[in-house]
Amino acid sequence: MIVVETFKGKSVTEHSVEIVERKGRGHPDYICDSVMDAISVALSRAYIKEFGVVLHHNIDKGLLAAGRTVKRFGGGRLLKPMELTIGDRATFRVGRRKIPVREIAVETARAWFRENLRFVDPERDVRYRVVLAEGSAELKDIFLRPGETRGANDTSAAVGYYPLSPTETAVLGLERHLNSRGFKERFPETGEDVKVMGLRKGRDLEVTVAMPLLSGYVGSEKEYFHRKGLILEEMRAFLEGFRGEGFRDVRVHFNTLDEEGRGLGGVYLSLLGTSAEDADSGQVGRGNRVNGLISMNRPMGTEAAAGKNPVSHVGKIYNVLAHRIAQEIYESSEGIKEVYVLMLSRIGTPIDQPQMATAQILLERGRKLKDVAEYARAIFERELKDINRFCLELAEGRYPVC
């Protein structure tokens, strides 16, 4: 069933207070989400190569347990490696043909660390614990049933929205800037574990950033605070570009736990660039939603999309698709302020037949729902008709989920 209705609330930009968070590439929660989804993509490719289809798997349970380091100005050493636990279910064999699931999982995880965290040695600094097992007979049977489209393997709801607010755009943009190649080349002493929290009060934007400096690049407390000042100025310059988005004042706070005169106890240093080295563990589902943000003023689903099966698990499929459809509806017609899309599956029902698909549209003054409802329904119908292609694109990793 497809329902198109008028959104009755205010635009998020009209709220007096807006809070938006972004966990960056080196954050332990982001690491778990991104690694588990990479493993799902790698397994999907292996299944397609060997059997021509994606088989049952859900790599959506994962824990990165923090290690232990000792740091000093000018260096430090790793005392205990981080430990990555990889779960939950996968298909290990079909008949007599085996799939090297454990080997694929570990090698994919190692490759992710190698490509994304400059100072983490995936052989030395991380231990891997694979706790994947075969799935239940009933869920595996979904992949053996006739029909071109898989049945949903869960009764689950998802939500998406578009467009991003200026606050969301600024928070997302700042983290990506701080983890960009150009920034790291100019400031190689910064780690990848970036967390950005944005608070808009009226027309004033206040941003708090946590990002460690690497102990191997910082020779003293004095040098730490000097480099911190230069980095803070870079952040301010970047955010100045958002004044044109309607902000009256933009302020940045950086590593606010720091306190001069306390030596190592008063600075945020990292040996490897991630707090998972000794301070913070990570878990799948505690990071960003599939659009890369944790937006407190928006409706949010509870599903962890990362690592879920891309052809039957609606916790992944519908979460990504809802944001995609919201964007298409917004861009299809003039006079739309915001679009919210809600989708609900029923376990066993083909994924192209959601129990409910709803678009809630906030219109500009003078526009009527009938002006856009036909376009919205057509977009739902087109996307659901073409859902198998969309699922294969998910299986190829074309849509980031964190």
Three-class DSSP category at 16: coil
Question: 238: which 2 tokens?
Answer: 């970047």
Contact indicator for 360, 339 with CB cutoff of 8 Å: yes
- Give me the pLDDT at residue 177, please: 98
Residue type, 231: I
List of domains in the chain: 14-23+166-281 (3.30.300.340)
Which H helix or E strand runs over 206? strand 204-210
SS (H, E, C) 260-327: CCCHHHHCCEECCCCHHHCCCCEECCCCCCCCCCEECCCCCCCCCCCCCCCCCCHHHHHHHHHHHHHH
- Give me the pLDDT at residue 184, please: 98
Per residue in 22-36, pLDDT (tens digit) is: 999 999 999 999 999
pLDDT-wise least confident of 181-190, 200-209, 242-251, 387-396: 242-251
Question: 351: which 2 tokens?
Answer: 């994924």
- Give me the pLDDT at residue 291, please: 96
Tell me which residue of 257, 232, 311, 297 sits closest to 56, measured CA to CA.
311
In Å, how far are 196, 283, 378 from 23, measured between CA atoms? 7, 13, 35
Per residue in 211-243, pLDDT (tens digit) is: 999 999 999 999 999 999 999 999 999 999 888
User: If you average pLDDT over residues 380-388, what whole number do you get?
Assistant: 96
Question: How far apart are the C-alpha atoms of 348 and 345, rounded to whole Å?
Answer: 9
What does the mean pLDDT of the chain come to?
94
If one compares 148 and 380, the residue with the highest pLDDT of the two is 380
pLDDT band at 362 (very low <50, low <70, confident <90, very high): very high
> What are the helix (H) ranges across 19-96?
28-51
**DSSP 8-class letter at 211:** -
Flag whether pLDDT at 144 surpasses 80.
Answer: no
Per residue in 265-295, pLDDT (tens digit) is: 999 999 999 999 999 999 999 999 999 999 9
pTM recorded for the entire structure: 0.95
Question: 109: which 2 tokens?
Answer: 């995880």
Question: How far apart are the C-alpha atoms of 153 and 56, rounded to whole Å?
Answer: 10
Beta bridge partners of 371: none
Beta bridge partners of 86: 62, 130
- Give me the pLDDT at residue 143, please: 64
Tell me which residue of 398, 380, 299, 331 sits closest to 3, measured CA to CA.
380
Query: Which residues neighbour 104 within 8 Å (Cβ) at sequence distance 6 or greater?
Result: 39, 42, 43, 46
Which H helix or E strand runs over 101? helix 101-116
Flag whether pLDDT at 137 surpasses 80.
Answer: no
Query: Which residues neighbour 18 within 8 Å (Cβ) at sequence distance 6 or greater?
Result: 12, 165, 167, 198, 199, 200, 295, 296, 297
- Give me the pLDDT at residue 131, please: 96
pLDDT band at 163 (very low <50, low <70, confident <90, very high): very high
pLDDT band at 134 (very low <50, low <70, confident <90, very high): confident
pLDDT band at 138 (very low <50, low <70, confident <90, very high): low
- Give me the pLDDT at residue 366, please: 86
